[in-house]
A and B are shown apart, each in its own frame.
Chain A
Amino acid sequence: MIVTVASFKGGVGKTTSAVHLAALLSEKASTLLIDGDPNRSATGWSRRGELPFKVVDERQAARYVRDYEHIVIDTQARPSREDLEALADGCDLLILPSTPDALALDALLMTVEALHELGADKYRILLTMIPPKPSRDGEEAQSTLREADLPVFDTMIRRQIAFQKAALAGVIVSKAADPRALTGWQLYQDIAEEIYALGVQSK
């Protein structure tokens, strides 16, 4: 399966999502994470510690892609039209993370519009960094997107410091030194289940 994580906006949880989805896919079959962001956040993450899958940048990737069953591609914010087109066309599922605030949702809608223009429909929106109760930002964003008939994951990723600790330590969230580490991990596990349930077929 080839999964790409993309968004017009930075800081919405692309790299965090790419890393955790790669970790989950790697439990099933060999998985490669392609770090397509010139900032090399995923590469940095893996170098600070240890991730349970290989991370390469897009220039090295050609040598590796054939040897892996699953490929997760992390991208930079504001992909060029060419990149978005290539990715929408070439991957099995495009995951669009967004935080539930108005600015991020606006950027999300632009991404969705661009995808629709490209005729791409294999995407799903992932709401991330959902503030804790009593905030209802997550639920509200989700129902707004649903009302607009946009495909959105049922599971939303909560805002948890454990994710930042994990990035700093170079590990996945389940290994972070934080009492909530496993709650965060469970959320991405649920996302992975939703992805399997979609029945995404590898090309």
Chain B
Amino acid sequence: MSSKFANLLSQARNRPIGEGTTEESTVEPKVEQGSESSNIGGKQPLQLTAPTPLAARTQNNTKQAKSSTPTRRTAALDTPIQTQPIAAEISSRGRPRTGKRSDPNYTQITAYITKQTHRDVKVALLQEGQGREISEVVEECLAAWLKQQK
């Protein structure tokens, strides 16, 4: 049982509850079960084999985020908002700095395609099962198109 939350939750559950409030709550300390659950060795639905980040940056979100008027606080976004320990945390545990986002040879573009095409591409990529991303298909298509222009 190596979850970073396990300890925290048991501490939280043992805290004095209801202090200063009138809401009654039944304190029913539950015995920590450990990890001897029966599903070990069973199938592991936690392992997603297909890459999932596609919808994490859907067209709509990017579009809306870009077009929303900056508020007076936006300036704060440009300044580092993390303190030292947290920044360290991110660099050690966050997204590895090996992706296209951090690669100087790559740039991010925004393009509008129909939702239908977007959906079909995502499905086709999942069926392909190679873990390829839309970016790679776009790169491939545009490079082929350029070649054919010559």
Selected interface stretch from A41-49, A139-147, A148-156, A185-193: A41-49
- Residues in B whose Cβ lies below 8 Å from that of A198: none
Chain B nearest CB: distance from A14 CB in Å?
11
- How many Cβ-Cβ contacts under 8 Å join chain A to chain B? 182
A109 to B39, CA, bound (A): 17
The answer to whether A83 touches B12, judged by C-beta atoms less than 8 angstroms apart, is: no
Look across to chain B and name the residue whose beta carbon is closest to the beta carbon of A1.
B25
The answer to whether B9 touches A117, judged by C-beta atoms less than 8 angstroms apart, is: no
- Residues in B whose Cβ lies below 8 Å from that of A36: 4-5
Look across to chain A and name the residue whose beta carbon is closest to the beta carbon of B22.
A29
- Is A26 an interface residue when CB atoms closer than 8 A count as contact? no
The answer to whether A47 touches B81, judged by C-beta atoms less than 8 angstroms apart, is: yes
Known contacts A114-B45, A118-B37; A9/B55 CB under 8 A: yes
- Residues in A whose Cβ lies below 8 Å from that of B21: 28-29, 69
The answer to whether A114 touches B46, judged by C-beta atoms less than 8 angstroms apart, is: yes
- Is B128 an interface residue when CB atoms closer than 8 A count as contact? no
Give how many A residues have a beta carbon under 8 Å from the other chain's beta carbons.
68
Chain A nearest CB: distance from B132 CB in Å?
15
Chain B nearest CB: distance from A85 CB in Å?
7
Chain B nearest CB: distance from A80 CB in Å?
7
Residues on B close to A: CB < 8 A?
1-21, 23, 25-30, 32-33, 35, 37, 39, 42, 44-46, 48, 52-58, 60-61, 64-65, 68-71, 73-74, 76-77, 81-82, 86, 89-90, 93-95, 119, 122, 126
A177 to B72, CA, bound (A): 10
- Residues in A whose Cβ lies below 8 Å from that of B77: 48, 168
The answer to whether A48 touches B68, judged by C-beta atoms less than 8 angstroms apart, is: no
A61 to B20, CA, bound (A): 21
The answer to whether B9 touches A90, judged by C-beta atoms less than 8 angstroms apart, is: yes
Chain A nearest CB: distance from B76 CB in Å?
5
The answer to whether A34 touches B8, judged by C-beta atoms less than 8 angstroms apart, is: yes
Look across to chain A and name the residue whose beta carbon is closest to the beta carbon of B39.
A117
